[in-house]
Amino acid sequence: VPIQPIRKIAISTGGGDAPGLNAVIRAVVLAALQKGWECHGIRDGYNGLLDPTAYPEGGVVPLTRASVAGITHLGGTILGTTNRGNPARFPVPQPDGSYVEVDRTDELVERFQAAGLDALVTVGGDGSLSIGYLLARKGLRVVGVPKTIDNDLDRTFMTFGFDTAVSFATECLDRLHTTAASHRRVMVVEVMGRYAGWIALHSGLAGNADVILIPEIPYDVEKVAETIRARQRNGRTYTVVVVAEGAREVGGDFTVQGRAVGQAERLGGVGEKLARQLEERTGKEARTVVLGHLLRGGSPTSFDRLVALRFGAAAVRALDEGQSAVMVSLAPPTVRYEPLKEAVRRMKTVNLDSDTIETARELGICFGD
Ligand code: F6P
């Protein structure tokens, strides 16, 4: 079947935001315009198409050179995003206050085609990319761009947003060292990352943490307590602990805050729990800092800006080459394409045989094992 020429494409940003999304949007728009294509932005994931009445100013908006001027360095996404608008499991409120999840993907494909859109660039994490793959299977031309501060996407060396999150967490650790030392305290710093320990591992190492707890290595509280006591015996009167929100004790469960309709499990709270356990076991005062959404905000680092711009331009190049159902991927020193199907197959967690883990162990950092 001959491929229809592209005249009009759409871009959508979905899931939790990440610094660098606007840089992707800018690159997609400018590269598309250069090819003579029109580029439109869908508001809030796919909600702009699925629920247009909620957008008096338009659920799908034309993106011009002016709309993307001066946004490379801005955090967030000018299109908006959502992590509760999965069109395959769309939450529909019922009269009794409950929700029923319905599959609206066929409707989405119809609306996409009715709007005269020839192809979609979907920027997102595993959720949005899985939806992108589903839409590609239903006939849309789709290119995915991997985004998440968690860095847990497979088939790409790194996602944009991660470097910014790690840089900020590292700066926070630098600041916490001095106050921890002044007060001879244990400082527990909880970072995001879902079920992967990338942010905790990289910021913990760069920020000189004494203990790093990640989901990939279930921890024993007593081992952490003993590290604190041993440091004390050696005249090191304070300890900085980085704990990933998805870390858990050996044989224990994830610490969760609950689950909202249409959303994934919300992790959080392990830091405070651990601080209390450590206080009890060591007799030292412990404080908790939860970095949370601070890790998702702010200006992208130059590394993330560059990756995001390269990803955006590469997505347009892929469409121009007639590719579909692929994800743009960072494979230093270049950018290449991976089948979306493969990219969403599994989560990328920290490889315990990696030299980064080995380095941390050689520096004497405790993983609680
Ligand atoms: O996936 C990005 C992320 O920030 C995770 O690290 C975190 O668990 C989750 O999103 C938080 O989601 P929300 O913004 O819905 O609280």
- State the DSSP string of 34-65: HTT-EEEEESTTTHHHH-GGG-TT-SEEE--T
Q: What is the dihedral of CA 307, 310, 312, 314, to 10 degrees?
A: -130
For residue range 88-139, list pLDDT tens digits in order. 998 888 999 998 999 999 999 999 999 999 999 999 999 999 999 999 999 9
For residue range 29-82, list pLDDT tens digits in order. 999 999 999 999 999 999 999 999 999 999 999 999 999 999 999 999 999 999
C-beta 194 within 6 A of ligand 1 = yes
Q: Are 83 and 194 in contact (CB under 8 A)?
A: no
What distance in Å separates the CA atoms of residue 329 and residue 160, rounded to the nearest whole number? 11
Residue in the block written with tokens 């606007």: 22
Q: What is the mean pLDDT of the chain?
A: 96
Span 313-327, mean pLDDT?
A: 98
DSSP 71: -
Q: How confident is the model at residue 2 (pLDDT cuts 50, 70, 90)?
A: low
Ligand 1 centre distance from Cα of residue 181 (Å):
31
Q: What is the dihedral of CA 301, 302, 308, 311, to 10 degrees?
A: -140
Calculate what percentage of the chain has a pLDDT beyond 90. Answer: 94
Q: Which atom of ligand 1 is nearest to the CA of 266?
A: 8
Span 283-310, mean pLDDT?
A: 98
Judge whether residue 3 has pLDDT over 90.
no
Answer yes or no: 150 catalytic: yes
Nearest CA to ligand 1 atom 13: 16
The pLDDT value recorded for residue 85 is: 73
Ligand 1 centre distance from Cα of residue 125 (Å):
11
Nearest CA to ligand 1 atom 3: 16
Q: Which of 96, 83, 48 is nearest to 261 (CA)?
A: 83
Sheet holding 8-13, edge to edge: 60-62, 38-42, 8-13, 119-124, 142-146, 326-331, 334-339
The pLDDT value recorded for residue 354 is: 98
C-beta 150 within 6 A of ligand 1 = yes
The pLDDT value recorded for residue 263 is: 72
Nearest CA to ligand 1 atom 10: 16
Q: Which of 79, 5, 16 is nearest to 49 (CA)?
A: 79
What distance in Å separates the CA atoms of residue 152 and residue 18, rounded to the nearest whole number? 13
What distance in Å separates the CA atoms of residue 150 and residue 163, rounded to the nearest whole number? 10
The pLDDT value recorded for residue 259 is: 76
Q: How confident is the model at residue 1 (pLDDT cuts 50, 70, 90)?
A: low
Ligand 1 centre distance from Cα of residue 16 (Å):
6
The pLDDT value recorded for residue 282 is: 98
Span 135-161, mean pLDDT?
A: 97
C-beta 169 within 6 A of ligand 1 = no
Q: Which atom of ligand 1 is nearest to the CA of 150?
A: 6
> What are the distances in angstroms from CA 56 to CA 43, 53, 83, 211, 223?
12, 6, 21, 51, 57
Judge whether residue 290 has pLDDT over 70.
yes
C-beta 267 within 6 A of ligand 1 = yes
Catalytic residue among 118, 150, 163, 210: 150
Centre a 10 Å sphere on the Cβ of residue 20 and count the other Cβ atoms it contains.
Answer: 35
Those residues whose C-beta lies under 8 Å from the C-beta of residue 46, and which sit 6 or more positions away, are 12, 14, 85, 87, 108, 131
C-beta 148 within 6 A of ligand 1 = yes
Calculate what percentage of the chain has a pLDDT beyond 70. Answer: 99
The pLDDT value recorded for residue 106 is: 96
Q: Are 44 and 115 in contact (CB under 8 A)?
A: no
Assessment of whether the complete model's pTM goes beyond 0.95: yes
C-beta 144 within 6 A of ligand 1 = no
For residue range 230-274, list pLDDT tens digits in order. 999 999 999 999 999 999 999 999 999 987 777 778 999 999 999
Span 303-330, mean pLDDT?
A: 98
